Structure 1
């Protein structure tokens, strides 16, 4: 949606602040319903949820393409336009980043146990590649078909094409096809993969393990989104140009992809706690780099810290909840975590803006985030974690 921001400002006659607030409120509102969507996943399965959310996402993209027309039909006031855009952003965030992302991840996790970490790492490479090329691809569509035509193309592709593909190719789990995870022969019970005992969302919320992982993942979402949103201003505060600011994403992406693949190749054989601790450590180191961005070493420490931290975030977020709380209620448990992370990502940019207004700099916001990361790191070290490793019958 960021590629369309300037177009929305011009066509809808809204200020940049109004468009940003519509996106913020829509995102926060979407986070409040993700736990319910997770329960729908447990009830209806990945095939129906992925196809349904893809169709709904396509519909909401089409709504965005017609906000100006709908607004004129309803009177054309700024309040009406703002409300329509807010509703459309809510739908895109809820059905897209929320439901479709969570369901696509969860359905894959059920098909693998012993190789779950490796498969999740390979998936993350494709996700990262998609995020990397999306702005360029959307800009090409806008150039070729105009902004409204680009939105129609996107909406119809995901709403019809991808939804149909999901119905044809996706199956909820191996059992629905008389198979077992990892391609194990169903008659070979000795080689059957072992899962953690399943716990309900209420049971998970009473566990400190759930909160240390959810808050750590949410902290990454808050800090990372705030940095991306304000990247030019943050780098400018340290005397660096916009070119340098945008150039930061390339080395960070390299660090992220490499660390994700390396960690994914090991995580199936080891406990998840060291990966969580390492993630919080490198994010803290990255925060130190951000605080010292005026130095050359600060730039590279930031890129390495946030890059490696992002790669480890992918590993931890994929595996934490199914490892500790089992597959039966995975949708509800991971959905509640998703609501926390989406909410954190929504308030991150606003929190950094408030820090500038009341504390005088983005540096102050980074220092507060560093303190929060160190507190989470201490908690992660102290909280005892017992989990069932893939393919093993005992907890460790």
Structure 2
């Protein structure tokens, strides 16, 4: 019965789900795990240290985070096709700018664009669309679209590494830009055109909802207790994930693991993340995201414990699998919960506020880890501090959230 329901769900919503998947997949071009592949070449180009590069990356990321509430809020006001194309064009321009960069200013601006349009708005457009257009089966829709993230983590690093090795890092960025322009943009329009019935259904539903709920201010959100229950969990996950992937090769060297083993282990994070995103969707639709929110951090904490306690190389894919499971389930739960608490009509504004928190955390992670590493503080010590913070965030997240 359950399999039949899932089959029908995907059959009748394939176009819109594919749109969501495509955008989260392409958001990889602005994610740290992929940008980290360009770090050695850019560090050599600019002749800077870990801390200096981390600072440049943090400035660009924080700048994109501060822009997100305004840019993300337009999702609620602009036609979805036009909004998606604008985001794609912004990503194309950022990729091209980085490919032609020869100084720190160009790199800074390019990273700002990649973090804003790639990591930020591509993901935002995808998941906000799922939360908006699926009033029922929202958890499954968000989970299905979110699988684009681990799919990108599993597939794109291999492709980009091969292109960099054969053609160079600049050509790699230019090929990525061309792909977004001639494949992603037209396919996005095609998929949305195939989803007109679902889009029209939302438009009719939105007209009957309370007009007072079609706008919300940042100040209003910050004043509410639920913001401070949700935020620490989002912050610690973004902080830790980005820092681990940003310095993953140095982590491997410190533990005695080969670069090939470290790179191959990322697939464990991707696969576990996909399982978590898809697996928890039905549970969200059954129990609600608010009830499930406190529990996903258990997997994350176990993954950090594994990195602290064990040195064997097998621990890295196992730890990444646990972290990926916590990350994947948490993403689906969090995005569904925001729609449950705040409503679908303001989902663009709300998600952009919380994405800002997450993006700021991803900016701070590499620079803090870079400072600690330059001070010769061990990874075990760093992860112990992160573990304590994760436990405290999880306990705080267990408090009751009211809509």
TM over 0.5: yes
CA drift of 1:342 comes to 0.8
Closer, same or farther in 2 for the Cα pair 1:270/1:357, shift >3 Å?
same
Q: Which residue in 2 is equivalent to 1:386?
A: 402
1:100-111 → structure 2 map (5 Å cutoff): 100-111=122-133
1:280-359 → structure 2 map (5 Å cutoff): 280-294=297-311, 299=316, 302-358=319-375
1:15 aligns with 2:37: no
Match of 2:106 among 84, 103, 106: 84
1:27 aligns with 2:44: no
Q: Does the aligned pair in 2 maintain the 1:46–1:172 contact within 8 Å?
A: no
Deviation string, structure 1 residues 8-60 (Cα, Å, up to 9, x no partner): 345x4533545544323211211111111122222224322211111111112
Q: Does the aligned pair in 1 maintain the 2:88–2:181 contact within 8 Å?
A: yes
Measured in 2, the distance between the counterparts of 1:289 and 1:135 equals 25
Measured in 1, the distance between the counterparts of 2:191 and 2:262 equals 41
Q: Does the aligned pair in 2 maintain the 1:218–1:341 contact within 8 Å?
A: yes
Deviation string, structure 1 residues 110-146 (Cα, Å, up to 9, x no partner): 2212111112212222332123211222234445654
1:100-179 → structure 2 map (5 Å cutoff): 100-142=122-164, 145-167=167-189, 169-170=191-192, 178-179=200-201
CA drift of 1:360 comes to 2.5
Deviates more, 1:353-362 or 1:279-288: 353-362
1:66-77 → structure 2 map (5 Å cutoff): 66-68=100-102
Q: Does the aligned pair in 1 maintain the 2:289–2:334 contact within 8 Å?
A: no
Closer, same or farther in 2 for the Cα pair 1:235/1:168, shift >3 Å?
closer
Deviates more, 1:23-32 or 1:353-362: 353-362
Q: Which residue in 2 is equivalent to 1:363?
A: 380
1:96 aligns with 2:113: no
Q: Which residue in 2 is equivalent to 1:218?
A: 235
Structure 2 gap ranges (5+): 1-34
Q: Which residue in 2 is equivalent to 1:246?
A: 263
Q: Does the aligned pair in 2 maintain the 1:117–1:268 contact within 8 Å?
A: yes
Closer, same or farther in 2 for the Cα pair 1:314/1:180, shift >3 Å?
same
Q: How much is the aligned-residue C-alpha RMSD, in angstroms?
A: 3.2
Closer, same or farther in 2 for the Cα pair 1:376/1:159, shift >3 Å?
same
Q: Does the aligned pair in 1 maintain the 2:308–2:380 contact within 8 Å?
A: yes
User: In proportion to residue count, which structure has more helix?
Assistant: 2
Deviates more, 1:214-223 or 1:241-250: 241-250
CA drift of 1:315 comes to 1.2
CA drift of 1:209 comes to 1.7
Other structure's SS at 1:53 match: helix
CA drift of 1:303 comes to 3.5
Larger Rg: 1
Q: Which residue in 1 is equivalent to 2:24?
A: none
Q: Does the aligned pair in 2 maintain the 1:46–1:104 contact within 8 Å?
A: no
TM-score normalised by L of structure 2: 0.79
Provide the aligned length of Structure 1 versus Structure 2. 364
CA drift of 1:299 comes to 4.9
Structure 1 gap ranges (5+): 69-80, 388-396
Q: Which residue in 2 is equivalent to 1:61?
A: 95
Closer, same or farther in 2 for the Cα pair 1:36/1:302, shift >3 Å?
same
Structure 1 moving runs of 4+ over 6 Å: 171-176
CA drift of 1:314 comes to 2.2
Measured in 1, the distance between the counterparts of 2:291 and 2:229 equals 13
Closer, same or farther in 2 for the Cα pair 1:361/1:380, shift >3 Å?
same
Measured in 1, the distance between the counterparts of 2:377 and 2:167 equals 43
Measured in 1, the distance between the counterparts of 2:309 and 2:289 equals 31
CA drift of 1:323 comes to 1.3
Measured in 1, the distance between the counterparts of 2:314 and 2:189 equals 50
Q: Which residue in 2 is equivalent to 1:77?
A: none
1:47 aligns with 2:47: no
Q: Does the aligned pair in 2 maintain the 1:289–1:300 contact within 8 Å?
A: no
Q: Which residue in 1 is equivalent to 2:7?
A: none
Q: Does the aligned pair in 1 maintain the 2:275–2:328 contact within 8 Å?
A: yes
Q: Which residue in 2 is equivalent to 1:4?
A: 38
Match of 1:200 among 190, 213, 216: 216
